[in-house]
Amino acid sequence: MRLFKLRKHATVRGYIHDWLEPDDVDQFNWMTAAIVLLVVASLISLAIETEAVRADTPMPAWVLEDIRLFNQVVVYIFAFEFLLRFWAEGENPRHRGVVGRLRFLASPLAITDILAFLPELLIMLFVPQEEGAWLAAARALRLFRLLKLARYVPAFSIVGNALKRAGAPLVAALCVAAAQVYLAALMLYFIEGEAKPEAFGSVTRALWWSMVTLTTVGYGDVYPETVLGRIAAGLVAVAGVGIVAMPTGILASAFAEEFRVLQERREQKARDAAKTDG
């Protein structure tokens, strides 16, 4: 796809580095797409594996076998990708030489990449019998593959920037929400504690109801039944709308600002390009 760009690079390593670490987030080559697909597939296979492993699930044995095989392949691919990246990182002046490589190994991106394959690789190579406990632990570490996604899907950066922009007020809204949850639990504890002790008999118990109600999830496992309790719960539910409305309002304006900045940057780029051409 971007083969024509090879001329820009003096060496094959330079080409591979540029290919693994495109400097423009808008670029999306097939390499990136392949890794994203592999991560998604390995997360889905992890979910299916936890199901297939169970004795009470009517699933043919080969499913589990195939998933294990697929997972081994993924581990080798990610190991190979990491080695390639480790070698190509020499193009980056900050990561040149032994000290530079150590600095690279200590970077969060490298650690993520390592945790995404190394634990399982070690177990695959050195633990002869498949011991459940080790496997479960290694499996949990597959979660780090989720973090690989964040790096490869460029649109994540818009969401990340907007969250950063919303920062302090978003935290404040969460504090207000937490205070609301606590207050609601305390109120229902005083009102309904006598009538429904198993659900509202203590603040800790009432907190479960309060969280489920204020986030408008409403499972229906606990709810007040006295008249006063229902009036209080109704007011709490209405106040719960504010819990949803505040972060939404904050995020809405943060995204609006983020879009405006992106738009300006794009226009600036267009003007610069026009100047260079002119």
User: x/- site string to a copy of itself, residues 77 to 116, per CB under 8 A?
Assistant: ----------------------------------------
CB of 215 to a copy of itself, least distance (A): 4
Cβ proximity to a copy of itself, 29 vs 216, nearer residue:
216
The C-alpha atoms of residue 207 and residue 183 are separated, in whole angstroms, by 9
Taking a C-beta distance cutoff of 8 angstroms, is the pair 36, 44 a contact?
no
* Binding status of residue 205 toward a copy of itself by CB under 8 A: yes
Upper half-sphere CA count for residue 109 (Cβ side, 13 Å)? 13
Q: What is the DSSP string of 69-124?
A: HHHHHHHHHHHHHHHHHHHHGGGSGGG-HHHHHHHHHTSHHHHHHHHTTHHHHHHH
Selected binder of a copy of itself within 204, 274, 277, 278 (CB under 8 A): 204
* Binding status of residue 1 toward a copy of itself by CB under 8 A: no
Selected binder of a copy of itself within 127, 171, 228, 270 (CB under 8 A): 171
The C-alpha atoms of residue 23 and residue 33 are separated, in whole angstroms, by 16
Q: Which residue in the block uniquely carries the two structure tokens 């609006």?
A: 256
Selected binder of a copy of itself within 20, 79, 114, 153 (CB under 8 A): 153
* Binding status of residue 158 toward a copy of itself by CB under 8 A: yes
Upper half-sphere CA count for residue 79 (Cβ side, 13 Å)? 13
Dihedral over Cα of 61, 63, 67, 70: its sign: positive
Q: Identify residues 219-258 at the interface with a copy of itself (CB under 8 A).
A: 219-221, 223, 230, 233-234, 237-238, 240-258
* Binding status of residue 215 toward a copy of itself by CB under 8 A: yes
Q: Identify residues 28-57 at the interface with a copy of itself (CB under 8 A).
A: 43, 46-48, 50-51, 53-54, 56-57
